[in-house]
């Protein structure tokens, strides 16, 4: 099964996550199929907290990919931000 989930990056005490499409059997920071965005939980000032390619996420969900709970909440946040910018 294909999953849309987070992979961790960044330094110690300063996490940064990439939102990726991957096989559910691969490890958290293992090989991925496509990177569709990022999430910066410690964003300050003008830094963006969530950046996501909504069209690519919709494409993968249309082909049967499952989002994790956290990615689903970030997806809703990105949709709100996109509507506010338009």
Instruction: Dig out the tokens for 81 from the structure.
Output: 């931000």
Specify the residue for token string 């096989």.
23
For the record, the structure tokens of 48 come out as 């963006």
The tens place of each residue's pLDDT in the chain, 86 residues long, gives: 999 999 999 999 999 999 999 999 988 888 899 999 999 999 999 999 999 999 999 999 999 999 999 999 999 999 998 888 87
Number of residues in the chain: 86
**Architecture field, domain 2-85:** 2-Layer Sandwich (3.30)
Prediction pTM value: 0.91
Domain segments of the chain as ranges: 2-85
Which SS3 state, helix, strand or coil, does residue 78 take? helix
Distance CA 21, CA 34 (A): 5
């Amino acid at each position: 099964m294909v999953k849309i989930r987070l992979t961790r990056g960044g330094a110690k005490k300063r996490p940064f996550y990439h939102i990726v499409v991957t096989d559910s059997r691969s490890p958290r920071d293992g090989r991925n199929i496509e990177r569709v965005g990022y999430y910066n939980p410690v964003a300050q000032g003008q830094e963006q907290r969530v950046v996501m390619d909504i069209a690519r996420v919709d494409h993968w969900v249309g082909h049967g990919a499952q989002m994790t709970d956290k990615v689903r909440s970030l997806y809703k946040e990105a949709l709100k931000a996109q509507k506010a910018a338009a």
